[in-house]
């Protein structure tokens, strides 16, 4: 299918679900791209995974009760994020084990709940792998509103998130509320996940959070640039992914994720400073270019000779 | 008024006594080395001064007032491995992050903040590298970034946790000179270290700590071998004692 055909379909009133799906996919990819930068830089991908799974029972309950899936998922996800944050204050059980416990437990709960609803197999598939049909108009506004709220909070708390990311101990000594900032970040991750569920699906949503941000990290050493690049990569992957999915009749969530992954792999190979090929080409030995620069200084002839500091 | 007064400090961690009856005073202009073996409670003492842990008894006064996170004029330089060096951020923004608590929520850095950052970078001679990503710095440069971040608050007290660990001799020497001059400019500097030679060389006073203060005095006053064997739990023939005598 050509791009023109795709545009025609987008404008076709009989296919009104298509532009709606595109709007939601792009909005959620942008939000996930921004929030994903913190997730990638703090190495909390596993928490993102846990929250994504935790959202499931909430959706199941909402589905059984015929309520808003986005709202149901958000409540369950935030509750789990809070549980992880609170339980992780106890150092006896490490955070990753805890997440492992909650991750599977909540998903199991979701499966049990949704099995109570008649005709659940079809809707189960929709939750797990995403779908572009059947998105209510209400969700469109909900996603837009939640997206703006998330981006607003990121803007407001960015300085504090960075400080905590850099150095927790120092942040505590500066009097920053580190625990509450962690919770705020978990909640933001949860909301980003929830608004992406509709099109991407529960299983693949983690990719939307991690892959664009990880690709952006490969392309730059500047946080500001990274936080612009990641949503651009995510949004573009959503557009291209939806186009390919519509053209070749492939599942939309999977296609978007594969497009984002292709971007990541390209960045991994070709990134200007950290790319594999560029590094190979620049240094035949394949060494890290960022090794300690001091040995060069010390090999300066002026400093050779018996050092006054020894002995 | 003393910059730092620690009186009869008792600290427990996980129900076990870590520090007992610690008394320590610091004046501006002093560079004090806190020496002790692993597990002696050096870092715990720093964390108590920063009011990051609950103390069981005694008190810590910073400029005459009880220590509180974010309120005291303390610059803290944690061990280098506490910092996330993979983060994509430039030197100047790391130094600016030291002012996050002072700026307050929802505020962006203003002219004063950038001036403080510029001064701190000048002070540690990193101005030329201010836009460099921190991941590309050497160990000594990283240590100076952390010192600059602490200086960005204009503190009267500096707490340095193991600043020399993992650095070679020339780098240690340069840092030692920096700490000495930071103290001479009117700050009270307290640093924990394993590095006896660097400590004896640069500190105006040494404090030997092993759960309690075992000795506190000028390096030349601490010749008694027993103090060192008691602090470090080493035998009388330990090479450590030869080092002490030589220094």
Domain co-membership, B99 together with B87:
yes
Tens digit of each residue's pLDDT (9 = 90 or more) over A158-214: 999 999 999 988 998 888 998 899 889 988 998 998 888 877 888 888 899 999 999
Q: Pick B83's closest partner by Cβ from A166, A220, A221.
A: A166
Which 3-state string (H, E, C) describes chain B?
CCCEEEEEEEEEECCEEEEEEEEEEECCCCEEEEECCCCCCHHHHHHHHCCCCCCCEEEEEECCEECCCCCCCEEEECCHHHCCCCCCCEHHHHHHHCCHHHHCCCCCCCHHHHHHHHHHHHHCCCHHHCCCEHHHCCHHHHHHHHHHHHHCCCCCEEEEECCCCCCCHHHHHHHHHHHHHHHHCCCEEEEEECCHHHHHHHCCEEEEEECEEEEEECHHHCCCHHHHHHHHCCCCCCHHHHHHHHC
A283 pLDDT band, cuts 50/70/90, is: low
Pairwise CA distance, residues A104 & A110, whole Å: 10
Query: Are A174 and B98 an interchain contact pair (Cβ–Cβ within 8 Å)?
Result: yes
Q: Is A174 on the interface with B (CB under 8 A)?
A: yes
A92 vs A9, higher pLDDT: A9
Tens digit of each residue's pLDDT (9 = 90 or more) over A203-247: 888 899 999 999 999 999 999 999 999 999 999 999 999 999 999
Q: Does B182 fall in a domain?
A: no
- The two tokens of residue A205 are 């949503």
pLDDT at res. A292:
43
Domain co-membership, B162 together with B141:
no
Q: Does B179 fall in a domain?
A: no
Query: Are A156 and B106 an interchain contact pair (Cβ–Cβ within 8 Å)?
Result: yes
Domain co-membership, B43 together with B161:
yes
Pairwise CA distance, residues A25 & A195, whole Å: 9
Chain B 36-65, CB below 8 Å of chain A: which residues? Answer: 50, 52
Domain co-membership, B148 together with B88:
yes
Domain co-membership, B10 together with B127:
no
The number of distinct structural domains making up chain B is 2
Q: Which residues in chain B have Cβ-Cβ distances shorter than 8 Å to A165?
A: 84, 87
pLDDT at res. A121:
66
pLDDT at res. A293:
43
Domain co-membership, B45 together with B163:
yes
Q: Does B49 fall in a domain?
A: yes
Give the mutation candidate from A37, A38, A159, A219 for the B interface (greatest B CB count, under 10 A): A159
Rounded to 10°, the helix A45-64/A178-200 angle is 60
Tens digit of each residue's pLDDT (9 = 90 or more) over A80-124: 888 877 877 666 777 778 788 888 888 888 888 888 777 666 666
B239 vs A278, higher pLDDT: B239
Q: Which residues in chain A have Cβ-Cβ distances shorter than 8 Å to B95?
A: none
Q: Does B13 fall in a domain?
A: yes
A290 Cα to chain B: minimum distance (Å): 5
Q: Which segment of A37-46, A69-78, A112-121, B79-88 scores lowest on mean pLDDT?
A: A112-121
Q: Does B140 fall in a domain?
A: yes
B88 Cα to chain A: minimum distance (Å): 5
Pairwise CA distance, residues A267 & B192, whole Å: 43
Q: Is B114 on the interface with A (CB under 8 A)?
A: no
Domain co-membership, B90 together with B64:
no
Q: Which residues in chain A have Cβ-Cβ distances shorter than 8 Å to B87?
A: 41, 162, 165-166, 223
Pairwise CA distance, residues A168 & A182, whole Å: 10
CATH number at residue B239: 3.40.50.300
Q: Does B234 fall in a domain?
A: yes
Pairwise CA distance, residues B159 & A4, whole Å: 65
Name the residue of chain A whose CA is nearest to B48's CA.
A173
Domain carrying residue B138: 79-155
Q: Pick B170's closest partner by Cβ from A163, A169, A309.
A: A309
Query: Are B138 and A175 an interchain contact pair (Cβ–Cβ within 8 Å)?
Result: no
Query: Are A41 and B87 an interchain contact pair (Cβ–Cβ within 8 Å)?
Result: yes
Q: Does B176 fall in a domain?
A: no
Domain co-membership, B87 together with B208:
no
Which residues in chain B come in under a pLDDT of 70?
A: 72, 247
Calculate Rg over the CA atoms of chain A. 23
pTM score above 0.90: no
Domain co-membership, B41 together with B163:
yes
Domain co-membership, B201 together with B136:
no
Domain co-membership, B209 together with B117:
no
CA angle in degrees (0–180, nearest 5) for B88-B92-B96: 100
Q: Pick B70's closest partner by Cβ from A174, A221, A290.
A: A174
Q: Does B178 fall in a domain?
A: no
CA distances from B100 to A12, A167, A185, B93 (A): 51, 12, 17, 11
Global ipTM: 0.89
B162 contacts B35 by C-beta, under 8 angstroms: no
Q: Is B139 on the interface with A (CB under 8 A)?
A: yes
Give the CATH architecture of domain A3-286. Orthogonal Bundle (1.10)
- The two tokens of residue B65 are 């007032």
Domain co-membership, B96 together with B49:
no
A76 Cα to chain B: minimum distance (Å): 28
Q: Pick B69's closest partner by Cβ from A175, A220, A222.
A: A175
Beta-carbon contacts of A166 under 8 Å, excluding residues fewer than 6 positions away, are B83, B84, B87, B89, B94, B97
Tens digit of each residue's pLDDT (9 = 90 or more) over A120-165: 666 667 777 777 777 888 888 988 999 999 999 999 999 999 999 9
Pairwise CA distance, residues B217 & B220, whole Å: 8
What residues does each domain of chain A span?
Answer: 3-286
Name the residue of chain B whose CA is nearest to A214's CA.
B88
């Amino acid at each position: 299918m050509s791009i023109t055909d795709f545009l025609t379909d987008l404008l076709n009133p009989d296919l009104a679900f298509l532009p709606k799906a595109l709007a939601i996919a792009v909005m959620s990819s942008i939000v996930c791209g921004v929030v994903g930068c913190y997730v990638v830089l703090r190495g909390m991908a596993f928490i993102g995974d846990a929250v994504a799974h935790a959202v499931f029972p909430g959706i199941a309950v909402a589905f059984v009760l015929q309520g808003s899936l986005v709202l149901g998922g958000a409540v369950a996800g935030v509750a789990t994020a809070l549980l992880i944050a609170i339980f992780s204050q106890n150092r006896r059980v490490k955070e990753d084990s805890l997440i492992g416990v909650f991750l599977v437990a909540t998903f199991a709960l979701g499966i049990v709940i949704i099995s109570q609803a008649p005709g659940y197999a079809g809707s189960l598939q929709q939750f797990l792998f995403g779908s572009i049909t059947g998105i209510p108009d209400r969700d469109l506004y909900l996603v837009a509103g939640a997206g703006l709220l998330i981006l607003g909070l990121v803007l407001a708390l960015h300085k504090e998130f960075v400080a905590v990311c850099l150095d927790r101990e120092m942040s505590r000594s500066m009097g920053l509320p580190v625990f509450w900032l962690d919770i705020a970040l978990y909640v933001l991750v949860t909301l980003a996940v929830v608004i992406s569920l509709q099109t991407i699906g529960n299983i693949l949503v983690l990719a939307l959070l991690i892959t664009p941000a990880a690709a952006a990290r490969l392309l730059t050493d500047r946080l500001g640039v990274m936080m612009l690049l990641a949503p651009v990569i995510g949004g573009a992957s959503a557009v291209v992914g939806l186009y390919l999915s519509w053209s070749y009749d492939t599942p939309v969530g999977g296609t978007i994720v594969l497009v984002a992954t292709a971007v990541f792999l390209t960045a991994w190979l070709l990134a200007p400073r950290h790319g594999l090929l560029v590094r190979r080409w620049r240094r035949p030995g394949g060494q890290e270019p960022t090794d300690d620069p001091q040995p060069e200084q010390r090999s300066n002839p002026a400093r050779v000779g018996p050092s006054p500091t020894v002995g | 008024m003393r910059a730092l007064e620690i009186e009869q400090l008792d600290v427990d961690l996980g129900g076990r006594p870590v520090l007992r009856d610690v008394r320590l005073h610091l004046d501006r202009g002093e560079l004090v080395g806190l020496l002790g073996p692993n597990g002696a409670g050096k870092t715990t003492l720093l964390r108590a001064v920063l009011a990051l842990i609950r103390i069981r008894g005694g008190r810590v006064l910073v400029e005459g007032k009880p220590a509180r996170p974010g309120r005291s004029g303390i610059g803290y330089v944690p061990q280098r491995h506490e910092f996330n060096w993979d983060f994509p951020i430039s030197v100047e923004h790391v130094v600016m992050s030291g002012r996050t608590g002072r700026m307050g929520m929802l505020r962006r850095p203003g002219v004063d903040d950038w001036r403080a950052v510029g001064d701190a970078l000048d002070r540690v001679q990193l101005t030329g590298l201010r836009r460099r990503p921190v991941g590309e710095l050497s160990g000594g440069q990283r240590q100076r970034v952390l010192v600059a971040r602490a200086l960005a608050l204009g503190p009267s007290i500096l707490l340095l946790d193991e600043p020399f660990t993992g650095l070679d001799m020339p780098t240690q020497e340069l840092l030692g000179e920096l700490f000495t001059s930071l103290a001479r400019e009117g700050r009270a500097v307290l640093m924990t270290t394993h590095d006896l030679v660097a400590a004896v060389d640069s500190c105006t006073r040494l404090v030997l700590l092993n759960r309690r203060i075992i000795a506190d005095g000028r390096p030349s006053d601490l010749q008694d071998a027993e103090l060192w064997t008691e602090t470090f739990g080493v035998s009388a023939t330990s090479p450590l004692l030869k080092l002490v005598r030589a220094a």
